[in-house]
Structure 1
Amino acid sequence: MDFYYMPGSSGCRTVIMVAKALGLELNKKLVNTMEGEQLKPEFVKLNPQHTIPTLVDNGFSIWESRAIAIYLVEKYGKDDSLYPKDPQKQAVVNQRLYFDMGTLSDAFGKYYYPLFRTGKPGTEEDLKKIETAFGFLDTFLEGKDYVACDQLTVADIAILANVSTFEVVEFDFSKYTNVVRWYANAKKVTPGWDENWEGLQKMKAVHRITLALFNMDFYYMPGSAGCRTVLMVAKALGLELNKKLVNTMEGEQLKPEFVKLNPQHTIPTLVDNGFSIWESRAIAVYLAEKYGKDDSLFPKDPQKQAVVNQRLYFDMGTLSDAFGKYYYPLFRTGKPGTEEDLKKIETAFGFLDTFLEGKDYVAGDQQTVADIAILAIVSTYEVVEFDFSKYTNVVRWYANSKKVTPGWEENWDGLMQMKAFFEARKAAATN
């Protein structure tokens, strides 16, 4: 029994829960509709509407979640509790299933689907349709524990999949007290609830990233190591930033509208749906924690997280600080810092080389935001032609990081812009 699905889809989650209630194991086959996999000829042959979920049971192909749910119960159910044979009881179950599709799901789509295209929800009228739908559902549940009968049916399961979706997008249905009571019980008694919730978390991650695509402004200059850090972290998370160039050489960071966003008037600065945050490492951690599908880039384990934080502070207070003290004078005088300043760079690279002894990453067993931040600054050292070849662990790590870090090419493009500017300022200072 092959089941073509995506875990975030409420219809797919309906079928998964019904199958669980029946003790059936589905052979799950992921179909990424975002990549157009449902349009492949082999899938269209199974389902000419090319929709998910689709079930193929020993050569018999059927789609539309509610039709699949009924089919599974009628063919594999040990009794008719999930879909009664009594005409009147069955009629009520059917009515609730059509209500789920034509009213509840339809209202969800009209209000929330525009977010995926425009970054904004539907109209106030669309929102009122959701409220009306929940009002109907609340009425259906007056004095009842289940939506259609005296026991759990496929109607409860389908509506549970839908109502839990409303919860994840943070629609407040607390005033619908019968729905709240039913929902709390349905989560307890419905087999497969845990998998339904896991699918919702995946959907939520996509939902949050989609919002970010439309509402995340990034104020930057491409040559800045901090800006390049954020660009690479965003790339690793699958985020597209709405980039806004701030020419600090022309004083654009001092404009009142920018100072209002960031009173320190520094770049990079990120504004995410009205929330403003600056300092590249703080931004990197924020993005990883809010939009990461897991905690690999910024671990939740206190000890692992502590090491990542230490490396980030090392990047700012030692590695980047040493760069600034030795190389920034070139922008003003055409000459670098002192020999003592150069020794601080060498000391910093010595520390980094020690951190990397016998390790592939700077702070753990996988790439983290610390690797990305340090990659941004080490690549800056390469461009200004600081010779770090004697730090063999750094050289090994650097070669690998360039290969495995998403966004490396944009980092390098930014460095080339920085190099051109750097050389022009150096030439101007020496003339």
Structure 2
Amino acid sequence: MDFYYMPGSGGCRTVIMVAKALGLELNKKLVNTLEGEQLKPEFVKLNPQHTIPTLVDNGFSIWESRAIAVYLVEKYGKDDSLFPKDPKKQAVVNQRLQFDLGTLTDAFSKYYYPLFRTGKPGTDEDLKRIETAFGFLDTFLEGHEYVAGDNLTVADIAILANVSTFDVVEFDFSKYSNVVRWYANAKKVTPGWDENWEGLQQMKFSFFIPEVNNSLPFSNMDFYYMPGSGGCRTVIMVAKALGLELNKKLLNTMEGEQLKPEFVKLNPQHTIPTLVDNGFSIWESRAIAVYLVEKYGKDDSLFPKDPKKQAVVNQRLYFDMGTLYDSFVKYYYPYFHTGKPGTDEALKKIETSFGFLDTFLEGHDYVAGDQLTVADIAILATVSTFEIVEYDFSKFSNVTKWYANAKKVTPGWDENWAGLQAMKTFFEARQAAAK
């Protein structure tokens, strides 16, 4: 089953959770609708409406998330619990599915979608529609644990995908006590909830917040990036620590956009991340990080001016690029090309690198002194990349202790993690393709 999707899409998240509940594996194929990939002839041939999610099961193509969800249960379900065969029970499930699409989703779209385009929400009337929709849902749940009966159904899963979207954009539905009670339980009992939440973080940070930020005052800093890139995540966290807003411009290197003449003019090495600050173009994440602190930092805490302290920070930055990150590249990048890892020797270089880092951290809370610096942020971006590919560094106790603390104290950690989920999806797809 080929599943064409984007992680942030509510409909896609619905299907992922239903598949999880059924014990089904989906062959996920990312479709970047922001880049118009859904308009490619080969995709339009599968789905003339060119929408996601789209499922192709042994040549049978079907789209619209609720239709896909019901199809999967009808064909692969071991019983009818998720979509009952009893006409009355099924009718209630169908009503809730229609409510989810025609009322709840529609209310979200009218109020929040303008934020994606203009940076401003919909009207007060549109907000009222959301409140009305939640009022209906609260009534449906009066005296019930689930939205359409006495057990979890596809209606709960679809509405969970939707309500969690309202949650991530911080709509306050706390006054709807039945919804709050149901939501807390649904998160616990619905298979695939974690992946649903990961997808929402990608939506929040990769799509929602950048568009809102475009309407806010900031220096004229264009930031060319991809969310999964370690260097890009470093810069995002440093900017967050400095209170800077970046005008994020997604650059799809998988499609060769970095080779376009207009980008090569900005960066002849055609790499990401690249920052353009009021006409000044600079690339390489660690150089960008230091530049931002030097120009916009209120103090020198992130990059000290004292020559000795600064030298240690610089050493750690070079260590991050030339040793730690290089060891990741040598062992894991072959996965992206061949689906197989590097050599045992390459794996040994990772262990050696973590050994060095563990030594640096002996008796220290931070990698280059007594406080958080750009070196911690850069190395945090790298170490978290190792985590996402499930490299076990637990035997390096100093690194483990530092990592737990760094995640807590580094501004922008959540966005770093959300970007890693995009990378993880690609990585797992390559692994699956190699099997």
TM range (shorter): 0.5 to 0.7
The total of aligned residue pairs comes to: 277
Q: 1:291 to 1:90 in 2, by over 3 A?
A: farther
- Segments of 5+ residues of structure 1 without an aligned counterpart are 220-230, 239-280, 299-308, 320-346, 374-431
Q: Which residue of 1 aligns with 2:241?
A: 285
CA distance in 1, matches of 2:246, 2:194: 22
Report 1:321-400 matches (<5 A).
351=311, 355=315, 359=319, 361=321, 365=325
| Partner Cα distance (1:44, 1:357) in 2 | 46
Percent identical residues: 70
Matches within 5 A, 1:211-250: 211-218=212-219, 231=221, 234-236=223-225
Residues of 1 paired with 2:100 and 2:5: CA distance?
A: 19
Supply the RMSD in Å over aligned alpha carbons.
3.7
Gaps of 5+ in 2: 228-236, 251-283, 287-296, 327-372, 379-435
State how far apart, in whole Å, the 2-side matches of 1:14 and 1:40 are. 24
Q: Look up the match of 1:330.
A: none
1:6–1:30 contact (8 Å) kept in structure 2: yes
Pairing 1:285-324 to 2, within 5 Å after superposition:
285-286=241-242, 313=301, 317-318=305-306
- The CA deviation at 1:348 is 10
User: Which segment drifts farther, 116-125 or 352-361?
Assistant: 352-361
Question: Secondary structure at 2:180's aligned position in 1?
Answer: helix
Matched residue, 1:122: 122
Residues in 2 aligned to 1:361 and 1:46: alpha-carbon distance in whole angstroms: 43
Aligned to 1:40: 40
Q: 1:5-404 maps to which residues of 2 (within 5 A)? A: 5-206=5-206, 207-218=208-219, 231=221, 234-236=223-225, 283=239, 285-286=241-242, 313=301, 317-318=305-306, 351=311, 355=315, 359=319, 361=321, 365=325
CA shift for structure 1 position 218: 2.0
SS in 1 for 2:91: helix
Structure 1 counterpart SS, 2:62 = strand
Q: Is the 8 A contact 1:19 1:72 kept in 2?
A: yes
Q: 1:4 to 1:137 in 2, by over 3 A?
A: same
Aligned AA (1:48)? P
Structure-1-length-normalised TM-score: 0.57
TM-score of the pair, normalised by structure 2: 0.57
Deviation at 1:290, TM superposition (A): 10
Q: Could you tell me how far apart the structure 2 residues matched to 1:32 and 1:208 are?
A: 18
Deviation by residue 1:285-337 (Cα, 9 ceiling, x = unmatched): 346899999xx979xxxxxxxxxx9x954856257xxxxxxxxxxxxxxxxxx
Assess, with a 3 A threshold, how the Cα gap between structure 1 residues 182 and 297 changes in structure 2: closer, same or farther.
Answer: farther
> Which structure has the larger Rg?
1
**One-letter amino acid of the structure 1 residue matched with residue 125 of structure 2:** E
User: Once the 2 structures are TM-superposed, how far is the Cα of residue 204 of structure 1 from its aligned partner?
Assistant: 1.0
Q: Is the 8 A contact 1:356 1:362 kept in 2?
A: no
Letter in 2 for 1:84: P
Relative to structure 1, is the Cα distance of residues 314 and 2 closer, same or farther in structure 2, using a 3 angstrom cutoff?
Answer: closer
